[in-house]
A and B are shown apart, each in its own frame.
Chain A
Amino acid sequence: MKEWLIPLLCGALTGMVSAWGVGGGTLLLLVMTLVLGVDQRTAQGINLLFFLPTAAAALFVHRKNGFLDRPTVRQAAPWGAAAAAAGAWIATFVDPAVLKKPFALFLLYTGASTLVRSFLPQKEKKSGSG
Protein backbone atom coordinates (compact mmCIF):
# COMPACT_ATOMS: atom_id res chain seq x y z
CA MET A 1 0.00 0.00 0.00
CA LYS A 2 2.79 2.36 0.90
CA GLU A 3 4.43 1.93 -2.51
CA TRP A 4 1.59 3.71 -4.22
CA LEU A 5 0.16 5.83 -1.39
CA ILE A 6 3.22 8.08 -0.98
CA PRO A 7 3.56 8.66 -4.76
CA LEU A 8 -0.19 9.34 -4.96
CA LEU A 9 -0.02 11.92 -2.17
CA CYS A 10 3.13 13.53 -3.62
CA GLY A 11 1.39 13.65 -6.99
CA ALA A 12 -1.77 15.23 -5.57
CA LEU A 13 0.13 17.84 -3.58
CA THR A 14 2.44 18.90 -6.41
CA GLY A 15 -0.45 18.77 -8.88
CA MET A 16 -2.44 21.16 -6.74
CA VAL A 17 0.29 23.71 -6.09
CA SER A 18 1.42 23.63 -9.73
CA ALA A 19 -2.16 24.40 -10.76
CA TRP A 20 -1.77 27.46 -8.55
CA GLY A 21 1.30 28.43 -10.54
CA VAL A 22 3.87 27.25 -8.01
CA GLY A 23 6.24 24.44 -8.89
CA GLY A 24 6.89 25.01 -12.55
CA GLY A 25 7.20 21.32 -13.36
CA THR A 26 10.36 20.81 -11.33
CA LEU A 27 8.76 20.34 -7.90
CA LEU A 28 7.68 16.72 -8.34
CA LEU A 29 10.93 15.91 -10.13
CA LEU A 30 12.94 17.15 -7.15
CA VAL A 31 10.65 15.41 -4.66
CA MET A 32 11.18 12.16 -6.53
CA THR A 33 14.97 12.39 -6.87
CA LEU A 34 15.88 14.11 -3.59
CA VAL A 35 13.22 12.78 -1.20
CA LEU A 36 11.92 9.50 -2.61
CA GLY A 37 15.20 8.34 -4.16
CA VAL A 38 13.87 7.66 -7.67
CA ASP A 39 16.67 7.46 -10.25
CA GLN A 40 17.16 10.53 -12.44
CA ARG A 41 16.00 9.32 -15.84
CA THR A 42 12.98 7.45 -14.46
CA ALA A 43 12.03 10.53 -12.45
CA GLN A 44 12.30 12.70 -15.58
CA GLY A 45 10.09 10.32 -17.54
CA ILE A 46 7.49 10.15 -14.76
CA ASN A 47 7.60 13.92 -14.37
CA LEU A 48 6.84 14.40 -18.08
CA LEU A 49 3.95 11.94 -18.05
CA PHE A 50 2.72 13.47 -14.81
CA PHE A 51 2.36 16.87 -16.34
CA LEU A 52 0.03 15.71 -19.11
CA PRO A 53 -3.19 14.88 -17.17
CA THR A 54 -2.46 17.55 -14.57
CA ALA A 55 -2.01 20.25 -17.19
CA ALA A 56 -4.94 19.02 -19.27
CA ALA A 57 -7.19 19.19 -16.20
CA ALA A 58 -5.97 22.66 -15.23
CA LEU A 59 -6.12 23.85 -18.84
CA PHE A 60 -9.72 22.72 -19.18
CA VAL A 61 -10.69 25.01 -16.30
CA HIS A 62 -8.50 27.90 -17.48
CA ARG A 63 -9.85 27.68 -21.03
CA LYS A 64 -13.44 27.72 -19.80
CA ASN A 65 -12.56 30.89 -17.90
CA GLY A 66 -11.12 32.43 -21.08
CA PHE A 67 -7.53 32.87 -19.90
CA LEU A 68 -5.71 31.49 -22.95
CA ASP A 69 -3.82 33.84 -25.27
CA ARG A 70 -4.04 31.93 -28.54
CA PRO A 71 -1.49 33.93 -30.62
CA THR A 72 1.19 33.23 -27.98
CA VAL A 73 0.35 29.53 -27.98
CA ARG A 74 0.48 29.40 -31.78
CA GLN A 75 3.89 31.08 -31.85
CA ALA A 76 5.61 29.27 -29.00
CA ALA A 77 4.20 25.74 -29.14
CA PRO A 78 5.64 24.52 -32.49
CA TRP A 79 9.13 25.81 -31.63
CA GLY A 80 8.84 24.34 -28.18
CA ALA A 81 7.75 20.95 -29.49
CA ALA A 82 10.65 20.79 -31.97
CA ALA A 83 13.22 21.75 -29.33
CA ALA A 84 11.65 19.30 -26.87
CA ALA A 85 12.09 16.44 -29.33
CA ALA A 86 15.79 17.31 -29.65
CA GLY A 87 16.27 17.77 -25.90
CA ALA A 88 14.48 14.55 -24.99
CA TRP A 89 16.45 12.65 -27.62
CA ILE A 90 19.73 13.92 -26.14
CA ALA A 91 18.58 13.24 -22.56
CA THR A 92 17.75 9.61 -23.30
CA PHE A 93 21.07 9.00 -25.06
CA VAL A 94 23.71 10.57 -22.83
CA ASP A 95 24.75 9.37 -19.38
CA PRO A 96 22.37 11.09 -16.88
CA ALA A 97 25.45 12.15 -14.90
CA VAL A 98 26.42 14.47 -17.78
CA LEU A 99 23.24 16.49 -17.25
CA LYS A 100 23.62 16.82 -13.48
CA LYS A 101 25.72 19.99 -13.50
CA PRO A 102 23.65 21.80 -16.15
CA PHE A 103 20.53 20.83 -14.20
CA ALA A 104 22.10 22.14 -10.99
CA LEU A 105 22.80 25.49 -12.66
CA PHE A 106 19.26 25.62 -14.02
CA LEU A 107 17.90 24.94 -10.52
CA LEU A 108 20.12 27.57 -8.89
CA TYR A 109 19.08 30.14 -11.47
CA THR A 110 15.42 29.20 -11.21
CA GLY A 111 15.41 29.17 -7.41
CA ALA A 112 17.20 32.50 -7.18
CA SER A 113 15.00 34.25 -9.74
CA THR A 114 11.80 32.85 -8.22
CA LEU A 115 12.94 34.10 -4.84
CA VAL A 116 13.87 37.56 -6.17
CA ARG A 117 10.59 37.92 -8.06
CA SER A 118 8.61 36.94 -4.95
CA PHE A 119 10.01 40.04 -3.23
CA LEU A 120 9.26 42.44 -6.09
CA PRO A 121 5.99 44.39 -6.00
CA GLN A 122 3.27 42.41 -7.80
CA LYS A 123 0.95 43.99 -10.35
CA GLU A 124 -2.66 43.19 -9.31
CA LYS A 125 -1.89 39.71 -8.16
CA LYS A 126 -5.35 38.60 -7.18
CA SER A 127 -7.50 40.55 -9.63
CA GLY A 128 -10.89 39.38 -10.83
CA SER A 129 -13.51 37.44 -8.98
CA GLY A 130 -11.00 34.90 -7.68
Chain B
Amino acid sequence: MQAQWSTRLAGAGAGLVNGLFGGGGGMVLIPVLSRQGRLKDRQLFATSVAVILPVCAVSAAVYLFRGSVPLAAAAPYLVGGALGGILGGKTYGKVSTLWLRRLFAAFVLYGGVRYLL
Protein backbone atom coordinates (compact mmCIF):
# COMPACT_ATOMS: atom_id res chain seq x y z
CA MET B 1 0.00 0.00 0.00
CA GLN B 2 2.68 2.46 1.05
CA ALA B 3 4.91 1.37 -1.82
CA GLN B 4 2.01 1.87 -4.21
CA TRP B 5 1.62 5.47 -3.12
CA SER B 6 5.30 6.21 -3.25
CA THR B 7 5.32 4.78 -6.79
CA ARG B 8 2.36 6.96 -7.80
CA LEU B 9 3.86 10.09 -6.25
CA ALA B 10 7.22 9.36 -7.84
CA GLY B 11 5.38 9.07 -11.15
CA ALA B 12 3.68 12.40 -10.55
CA GLY B 13 6.95 14.07 -9.53
CA ALA B 14 8.68 12.66 -12.61
CA GLY B 15 5.84 13.91 -14.79
CA LEU B 16 5.95 17.41 -13.35
CA VAL B 17 9.73 17.71 -13.77
CA ASN B 18 9.52 16.23 -17.26
CA GLY B 19 6.83 18.67 -18.34
CA LEU B 20 8.39 21.74 -16.72
CA PHE B 21 11.98 21.19 -17.80
CA GLY B 22 11.51 19.05 -20.90
CA GLY B 23 13.31 16.06 -19.40
CA GLY B 24 14.84 14.58 -16.29
CA GLY B 25 11.81 12.71 -15.00
CA GLY B 26 13.88 9.56 -14.61
CA MET B 27 16.02 11.40 -12.07
CA VAL B 28 12.98 11.62 -9.80
CA LEU B 29 11.57 8.18 -10.48
CA ILE B 30 14.66 5.97 -10.38
CA PRO B 31 15.91 6.89 -6.88
CA VAL B 32 12.43 6.27 -5.40
CA LEU B 33 12.01 2.89 -7.11
CA SER B 34 15.58 2.04 -6.17
CA ARG B 35 14.89 2.80 -2.50
CA GLN B 36 11.85 0.51 -2.57
CA GLY B 37 14.37 -2.21 -3.32
CA ARG B 38 12.04 -4.53 -5.24
CA LEU B 39 13.68 -4.24 -8.65
CA LYS B 40 17.15 -5.17 -9.86
CA ASP B 41 19.16 -2.60 -11.79
CA ARG B 42 18.13 -3.67 -15.27
CA GLN B 43 14.45 -4.01 -14.32
CA LEU B 44 14.62 -0.67 -12.56
CA PHE B 45 15.96 1.10 -15.59
CA ALA B 46 13.74 -0.63 -18.16
CA THR B 47 10.67 0.00 -16.00
CA SER B 48 11.46 3.67 -15.54
CA VAL B 49 11.82 4.05 -19.32
CA ALA B 50 8.38 2.45 -19.70
CA VAL B 51 6.92 5.02 -17.27
CA ILE B 52 8.74 8.00 -18.74
CA LEU B 53 7.78 7.15 -22.33
CA PRO B 54 4.05 7.98 -21.98
CA VAL B 55 4.96 10.91 -19.71
CA CYS B 56 7.21 12.29 -22.43
CA ALA B 57 4.58 11.67 -25.08
CA VAL B 58 2.08 13.79 -23.13
CA SER B 59 4.63 16.57 -22.53
CA ALA B 60 5.72 16.53 -26.17
CA ALA B 61 2.10 16.71 -27.31
CA VAL B 62 1.53 19.82 -25.16
CA TYR B 63 4.75 21.45 -26.43
CA LEU B 64 3.74 20.67 -30.02
CA PHE B 65 0.23 21.95 -29.45
CA ARG B 66 1.67 25.17 -28.03
CA GLY B 67 3.99 25.52 -31.03
CA SER B 68 7.23 25.19 -29.05
CA VAL B 69 8.90 22.52 -31.19
CA PRO B 70 10.37 23.22 -34.63
CA LEU B 71 10.19 19.77 -36.22
CA ALA B 72 12.85 20.45 -38.85
CA ALA B 73 15.38 21.36 -36.16
CA ALA B 74 14.42 18.27 -34.15
CA ALA B 75 14.74 15.76 -37.01
CA PRO B 76 18.52 15.13 -37.04
CA TYR B 77 18.55 14.64 -33.25
CA LEU B 78 15.74 12.10 -33.56
CA VAL B 79 17.43 10.10 -36.32
CA GLY B 80 20.69 10.05 -34.38
CA GLY B 81 18.86 9.19 -31.17
CA ALA B 82 17.08 6.18 -32.68
CA LEU B 83 20.37 4.81 -34.04
CA GLY B 84 22.14 5.42 -30.73
CA GLY B 85 19.23 3.92 -28.79
CA ILE B 86 19.32 0.66 -30.75
CA LEU B 87 23.10 0.43 -30.44
CA GLY B 88 22.93 1.25 -26.73
CA GLY B 89 20.15 -1.27 -26.12
CA LYS B 90 22.14 -4.03 -27.80
CA THR B 91 25.31 -3.25 -25.86
CA TYR B 92 23.55 -2.65 -22.52
CA GLY B 93 25.42 -4.26 -19.63
CA LYS B 94 28.52 -4.89 -21.74
CA VAL B 95 30.04 -1.52 -20.98
CA SER B 96 31.14 -0.29 -17.57
CA THR B 97 29.37 3.00 -17.10
CA LEU B 98 30.85 4.04 -13.74
CA TRP B 99 33.19 6.73 -15.05
CA LEU B 100 30.69 7.77 -17.68
CA ARG B 101 28.19 8.30 -14.86
CA ARG B 102 30.66 10.44 -12.92
CA LEU B 103 31.51 12.46 -16.01
CA PHE B 104 27.82 13.00 -16.61
CA ALA B 105 27.29 14.06 -12.99
CA ALA B 106 30.11 16.59 -13.29
CA PHE B 107 28.59 17.95 -16.49
CA VAL B 108 25.18 18.28 -14.81
CA LEU B 109 26.75 20.12 -11.85
CA TYR B 110 28.48 22.44 -14.31
CA GLY B 111 25.10 22.96 -15.98
CA GLY B 112 23.54 23.77 -12.63
CA VAL B 113 26.14 26.43 -11.94
CA ARG B 114 25.74 27.87 -15.44
CA TYR B 115 21.96 28.11 -15.02
CA LEU B 116 22.30 29.64 -11.58
CA LEU B 117 24.58 32.46 -12.77
Contact between A44 and B22 (Cβ–Cβ < 8 Å)? yes
Nearest 4 A/B pairs, CB to CB: A87-B19, A44-B22, A19-B88, A11-B80
Residue positions of B touching A, CB distance < 8 A? 4, 7-27, 29-31, 33, 38-43, 45-47, 49-60, 62-64, 66, 68-71, 73-98, 100-102, 104-116
Would you give the shortest CB distance from B40 to chain A, in whole angstroms? 7
Q: How far is the CA of A106 from the CA of B116 in the complex (A)?
A: 11
Interface SS, B side: helix
Contact between A76 and B114 (Cβ–Cβ < 8 Å)? no
The listed residue (B26, B68, B71) touching A24 by CB distance below 8 A is B26
Closest B residue, CB atoms, query A4 = B76
Q: How far is the CA of A13 from the CA of B22 in the complex (A)?
A: 19
A residues contacting the other copy or chain, number (CB 8 A): 103
Contact between B17 and A8 (Cβ–Cβ < 8 Å)? no
Contact between A61 and B92 (Cβ–Cβ < 8 Å)? yes
Residue positions of A touching B, CB distance < 8 A? 3-5, 7-30, 34, 38, 41-63, 65, 67-69, 72-73, 75-93, 99-108, 110-115, 117-118, 122-128, 130
Q: How far is the CA of A71 from the CA of B38 in the complex (A)?
A: 12
- Given the interface pairs A11-B81, A63-B46, A87-B20, the reply to whether A50 lies near B63 with Cβ below 8 Å is no
Contact between B108 and A107 (Cβ–Cβ < 8 Å)? yes
The listed residue (A15, A47, A80) touching B14 by CB distance below 8 A is A80
Contact between A108 and B109 (Cβ–Cβ < 8 Å)? yes
Contact between B18 and A77 (Cβ–Cβ < 8 Å)? no
Collect the chain A residues with CB atoms within 8 Å of residue B49's CB.
Answer: 55, 58-59, 62
- Given the interface pairs A57-B89, A59-B53, A87-B59, the reply to whether A34 lies near B114 with Cβ below 8 Å is yes
The listed residue (A25, A92, A99) touching B26 by CB distance below 8 A is A25
- Given the interface pairs A19-B88, A46-B74, A107-B111, the reply to whether A72 lies near B18 with Cβ below 8 Å is no
